[in-house]
Amino acid sequence: MIPLREIFDNDLFSEQDIRSQIEEYEIHELIDQWDTLNPDEKFTIFKYLDHTEKTDFLLELPVPDQEQLFQVFNGKQIDQLLGDLQPDDLVDIIQTVSEDVKKLLWEKLSDEAKRETLYLMRFDEDDAAGIMNPRYMAVSDRINVGQAMAFIRKNAADVESIYNIYVIDKKQVLVGVCSLKELLSANDAELVRSIMEDEFISVREDTDQEDVAKILETYDLVSLPVVDAGNVLLGIITFDDVIDVIREEQTEDVYKMGAMGGGSNRYLDTTVWGLVKKRIPWLIILLILGTISTNVVAHYDLVFRNALLATTFLMVFMPVITQTGGNSGSQSSTLMIRGLATGEIHFRDFWTVIFKELKVGLIIGLITGLVIFGRSILFPPNIAITHSIIVGIALGCVVVFSTLIGALAPLLIHRLGFDPTVMSGPLMSTVIDVCGLTIYFEIAWHMFKLISG
Amino acid sequence: MIPLREIFDNDLFSEQDIRSQIEEYEIHELIDQWDTLNPDEKFTIFKYLDHTEKTDFLLELPVPDQEQLFQVFNGKQIDQLLGDLQPDDLVDIIQTVSEDVKKLLWEKLSDEAKRETLYLMRFDEDDAAGIMNPRYMAVSDRINVGQAMAFIRKNAADVESIYNIYVIDKKQVLVGVCSLKELLSANDAELVRSIMEDEFISVREDTDQEDVAKILETYDLVSLPVVDAGNVLLGIITFDDVIDVIREEQTEDVYKMGAMGGGSNRYLDTTVWGLVKKRIPWLIILLILGTISTNVVAHYDLVFRNALLATTFLMVFMPVITQTGGNSGSQSSTLMIRGLATGEIHFRDFWTVIFKELKVGLIIGLITGLVIFGRSILFPPNIAITHSIIVGIALGCVVVFSTLIGALAPLLIHRLGFDPTVMSGPLMSTVIDVCGLTIYFEIAWHMFKLISG
């Protein structure tokens, strides 16, 4: 396919040529090349999309582009788009666009859409109700399969998902679930109540969205009903909402591992100040925490000097000691954090984990100690063999310690009810810098005393 | 609910009591407490599960537990389970269990299941065909809606997903897709061909599973057809397969960020040696790379000593300098890696990104420089104010450098066709240790010369 940039830059192409070239593209391919285009070209592309593709496409665009499109659309185009959007997607858009665009859209909404939007905006956006769609396919528990099928055929176009049919009583209480597949294979005369599954999975309006994701995944459900305390059906959450939750969660975790604060905004849309604000808090906290290491080093430097012992070789190996300690700590904390997140590791596995990590730590401590020993006698800067032995043993001990603390810290933090992801990479390695250097110098000091009798 | 452990430990409970207690549990709750149980108790629980829950449950279990269950089942129980498993899930199990269990299962498979399994095992497990289900709902393009609905009603029970109906010609070539919703709202007499969507999304058998995930997500599709080069329909991929792919990918990325090699095996099932093998390669590579810093420090120590300059204060601040450099580098590399992974950042944004990171780097360099300056004049170890200025300026420069290299490296690595995740946390901070220390000492050296005229 011809790149979009070239399609628009080619003077030989008529409008019709451009259109037919663009129609060759799938929407994910258009999105990929989206930021090579100017606003006019973006509008042209959107105009040429199929009616059914427009909402999918809009939802994939970054917020500034969504705003731009709404601003250049005429009234009829906006009406159509708003009409095609599912209520939960509409709320997402209303909640993220600028005040101006929000006002523009709000005026265009039908009374019903306004009511629906206000209703959905009441809920916390991290809760089940915050991602649910209030339009679902529900039938009464007193009708038969034939009647239900007739009702579904008539109303299928109005709802997003008809894969699961929810069965409610006259008080809107959810009493059962029936897949369309089961309904199709059933006899017309049977009562819906008799074929429905009355032991079904549902979530409460205030269930955390990450728990919703786990439940939908476990049961491979295409949709999940959201109910209130009285079991009244409020809406449904579909698999695509869950995929969005998983991606969001993933971005947040990765940011935390990279020592950065919340929000999963697009990088290119974030201002320089926005980026600074996202990064500076952790950086300063870790910097101040990290300066404790300064006192550790200064203290031992004095101790060694007072004993008239050379410290140069110890100083020289400091960076590689802290780095290796940090790496081994990160490895065990990563395994713990992941295990806790996927629900594989629990606090009751505490001792199993600690013994396992102790064994692993001893083995990798031994290996890394030998490697640094070998390296320091074979290559410059050449140091005395006793010094090489000291460095090797000290590194081994630092690695054992780091491996253990890397496993311990996330388990304890999780136990206390906090998110253990915070203990990954950067914070872990700062803690290890301080403790690791203390261990390093202590061991060196004791070995020196041992050697000198 | 009473914890499972207590249910089994309570002597007052009859078998019937235990059963009714367990029936209160949802399967994800059972899985959560699974490893508090002994093999007999696990078997008991499995026995009490509903017929329909058994396969979902089995697929959520760790491999050793799957093997254990297969080994205690009698022939009829295995037959039933194997019959209920979807072909793609069956292949997953066959490919992960031990040789003994594989043999046991293989003997129990029907000829058709064997054929299907062998067929699926031909494909690479990271490709579209490796995760597809060869059972789908397809109808001929020459029948009408009424005939199609009759066919679907008759065969619904045999396939996993009937949400999308695939329309094929007599050569099995995929010519259209029709959602069940559209089919339900259509008139019985209409030809399927006339209501189907003939511009549909499909993937080729060798499409990478991560691309499959992105496509399904972009279009919010519940299933996606897999075709060969001649457009012949081979199977379908459903949303739940894609959720598995996203989770797998997530674990792999997190491990890479924690400096660990492949495989997303469960922690508790991995032996100590398995864990060592997973961790030691990166640890050794980074250790050896990191020892370059030893030479850097030794070199400058000599330079300063030869000029009769004190180096103690420089040494003392080394750990916090490398740590802060590593953190700021990790922040920008994390943003790049995530942006590249989600397709938001491309190589063509190179200069935009570099200028942005330069500005961010200058601001956070200034702030962190001021913080360390303030800290070093206010708190012990007390150092001369000129030394504090030197450390502040040097840290600022290291942070600017780290921020830039943190953005540059992933972009270039991605451009060269490699996975930029490798440049996250650990490798990044090792590179920054070596380069950062060089910058630190160089700046200190030049400032010393400047001061001493």
Residues A306 and A429 in one domain: yes
Residue B300: name the closest of B430, B435, B438, B402 by CA.
B438
| Tokens coding A302 | 């004095």
Question: Complex ipTM, two decimals?
Answer: 0.78
**Nearest-CA distance from A426 to chain B in Å?**
6
Which domain, by its residues, includes A65? 4-123
Given B81, B96, B126, the domain boundary residue is: B126
- The CATH number covering residue A368 comes to 1.10.357.20
Which residue among A295, A363, A426 sits closest to B380, beta carbon to beta carbon? A295
B:377-436 residues touching chain A, CB 8 A cutoff: 379-381, 424-426, 429-430, 433
Query: Across chain A, what does the average pLDDT equal?
Result: 87
Q: Which helix (H) or strand (E) holds A238?
A: strand A233-238
Q: What is the pLDDT of residue B342?
A: 76
Instruction: Return the half-sphere exposure (C-beta side, CA atoms, 13 A cut-off) of residue A61.
Output: 24
pLDDT digits (tens, 9 = 90+) for A83-134: 888 888 888 888 888 888 888 888 888 888 888 888 888 888 889 998 999 8
Q: CA-to-CA distance for B255 and B383, rounded, in angstroms? A: 41
Tell whether A280 is covered by a domain: no
Q: Assess whether the previous peptide bond of A134 is cis (omega < 30° from 0).
A: no
Measured CA to CA in angstroms, residue B344 lies from A51, A133, B2, B420 at distances of 25, 27, 48, 14
Do A74 and A47 belong to one domain? yes
Residue A397 pLDDT grade (very low, low, confident, very high; cuts 50, 70, 90): very high
Whether A248 maps to a domain, the answer reads: no
Show the beta-strand stretches assigned E in A132-172: 138-140, 164-168
Spell out a b/e string for A352-391, using b for 16 or more CB atoms within 10 Å of the CB, else e: ebeebbebbbbbbbebbbebbbebbeeeebebeeebbbbb
Q: Are residues B94 and B144 in the same domain?
A: no
- pLDDT reported for residue B263: 61
* Angstrom distance (rounded) from CA B320 to CA B86: 55
Please report where in the chains the tokens 């999940």 appear, as a residue: A224
Residue B224: what pLDDT? 94
Among A322, A362, A28, smallest CA distance to B323 is for A322
Contact A184 B201 (CB under 8 A): no
**Cβ contact B322:A319 at 8 Å:** yes
Q: How far is CA B298 from CA A257, A411, B292, B369, in A?
A: 32, 39, 10, 25
Is position A270 within any domain? no
Q: Is B58 on the interface with A (CB under 8 A)?
A: no
Token pair, residue A219, equals 């049961």
User: Which of B242, B297, B335 has its CB closest to that of A267?
Assistant: B335
Tell me which chain A residues have a C-beta less than 8 angstroms from the C-beta of B312.
298, 301
The better pLDDT of the pair A420, B146 is held by: B146
Closest CA to B311 of A389, A64, A312, A63: A312
**Candidates A287, A311, A330, A434, partner chain B, best to mutate (most B CBs within 10 A):** A287
Could you say which residues from 73 to 132 on chain A have a Cβ atom under 8 Å away from some Cβ of chain B? none
CA-to-CA distance for A94 and B60, rounded, in angstroms?
A: 38
For A:339-368, CB contacts with B below 8 A are: 339, 342-346, 348-349, 352-353, 356, 359-360, 363-364, 367-368
How would you list the strands of the sheet with B223-227, edge to edge?
B203-204, B223-227, B233-238
β-strands B174-179, A174-179: how paired?
Answer: unpaired
Decide if B315 touches A, using CB distance below 8 A. Answer: yes
Q: Are residues B79 and B149 in the same domain?
A: no
Instruction: Count up the domains in chain B and report the number.
Output: 3
Contact list, B247 vs chain A (CB under 8 Å): 217, 246, 342
E strand or H helix that includes residue B189 = none
Does residue B13 lie in a domain region?
Answer: yes
Answer whether A163 sits within 8 Å of B222, measured CB to CB: yes
Q: Tell me, what CATH number does B187's domain have?
A: 3.10.580.10
Contacts of B346 in chain A (CB under 8 A): 32, 35
B352 contacts A320? CB cut-off 8 A: no
Amino acid identity, position B183: L
Using pLDDT thresholds of 50, 70 and 90, give the confidence band for residue A262. Answer: low
- For residue B265, tell me if it sits in a domain: no
**Do B286 and A214 count as a contact with CB atoms less than 8 A apart?**
no
Query: Domain end: A123, A157, A187, which one?
Result: A123
**pLDDT band (50, 70, 90) for residue A353:** very high
**Chain B hits for A180, Cβ within 8 Å:** 162-163, 180
The shortest C-alpha distance from A391 to chain B (Å) reads 12
Give the count of beta carbons closer than 10 Å to the beta carbon of residue B108: 16
**Chain B contact present for A318, CB below 8 A:** yes
Pick from B297, B328, B331: which is nearest to A316 by CB? B297
Examine residue A276 and state whether it is found in any structural domain, yes or no: no
CA distance B116 to chain A (A): 22
Contact B312 A318 (CB under 8 A): no
Interface of B with A in 17-36 (CB under 8 A): 26-28, 31-32, 35-36
From chain B, pick out residues whose CB is under 8 angstroms from the CB of A246: 243, 246-247, 250
Residue A63 in contact with partner chain B when CB distance is under 8 A: no
For residue A245, the SS3 value is helix
Q: Which of A266, A275, A360 sits opposite B276 (nearest CB)?
A: A360
Is there a single domain that holds both residue A322 and residue A445?
yes
**B46: distance to nearest CA of chain A, Å?**
16
User: Does one domain contain both A57 and A164?
Assistant: no
Using the beta-carbon criterion (under 8 Å), do B31 and A218 form an inter-chain contact? yes
End-to-end CA distance of chain A: 78
Count of pairs with CB atoms under 8 A, one residue in A, one in B: 360
* Contacts with B100 (C-beta within 8 Å, 6 or more apart), sequence order: none
Residue B122 sits in the same domain as residue B142 = no
Residue A78: pLDDT band with limits 50, 70, 90? confident
- Total residues found in chain B within this entry: 453
Give the pLDDT score at A264. Answer: 56
Which of the pair, A374 or B61, is modelled with greater confidence?
A374
Alpha-carbon distance of A217 to B240, in angstroms, equals 7
Residue A261 domain-assigned (yes or no): no
Judge whether B135 is closer than 8 Å to chain A, CB to CB. no
Are residues B224 and B150 part of one domain? yes
Q: What's the CATH code of the domain at B12?
A: 1.25.60.10
Same structural domain for residues A438 and A332? yes
Whole-angstrom CA distances from B186 to A165, A206, A290, B182 are 19, 38, 68, 6
Nearest to A28 among B215, B267, B331 (CB): B215
Mean pLDDT of the A237-242 span: 92
If asked whether residues B297 and B445 sit together in one domain, one would say yes
CA distance B107 to chain A (A): 28
Q: What is the pLDDT of residue A3?
A: 87
Of the candidates B419, B406, B426, B418, which has an alpha carbon nearest to the alpha carbon of residue B282?
Answer: B426
Partner residue facing A272 (CB), from B258, B323, B360: B360
Q: A276 vs B315: CB contact, 8 Å cut-off?
A: no
Cβ within 8 Å of A, B 228-267: 239-240, 242-243, 246-247, 250-251, 253-255, 257-260, 266-267
A203-212: per-residue pLDDT in tens? Answer: 999 999 988 9
Q: Is A144 left (phi over 0), alpha (psi -120 to 50) or beta?
A: beta
The predicted pLDDT at position B453 comes to 63
If 0-12 CB within 10 Å is exposed, 13-18 middle and 19+ buried, where does residue B250 land? buried
Q: A79 Cβ partners below 8 Å, 6+ apart?
A: A108
Of A56, A156, A426, the CB nearest to B185: A156
Instruction: Please report whether residue B341 resides in a domain.
Output: yes
Residue A16, H or E segment: helix A15-23
Chain B residues closer than 8 Å to A242 by CB: 243
Point out the domain boundary residue: B241, B275, B305. B241
Per DSSP, the three-state class of A176 is strand
Whose tokens are 């788009």? That residue is: A81
Report the pLDDT value the prediction gives residue B213, as an integer from 0 to 100: 92
Residues in chain B where the model's pLDDT stays below 70: 261-265, 453
* A117 and A142 inside one domain: no
Mean pLDDT, residues A203-226: 91
Q: Which residues in chain B have Cβ-Cβ distances shorter than 8 Å to A323?
A: 286-287, 290, 293, 322, 429-430, 433
User: Which residues 6+ apart lie within 8 Å of A237 measured at CB?
Assistant: A128, A131, A132, A133, A203, A212, A216, A223, A224, A226
Q: Global pTM?
A: 0.79
CA distance B328 to B401: 9
For residues A189 and A116, state if they share a domain.
Answer: no
The verdict on a CB contact (< 8 Å) between A317 and B330 is no
Please report, as a single letter, which amino acid is at residue B366.
Answer: L
d(CA B292, CA B79): 61
Average pLDDT, chain B: 87
**A164-168: strand order across its sheet:** A138-140, A164-168, A174-179
pLDDT above 80 for A297: yes
- Nearest neighbour of A331 by CB, restricted to B220, B239, B260: B260
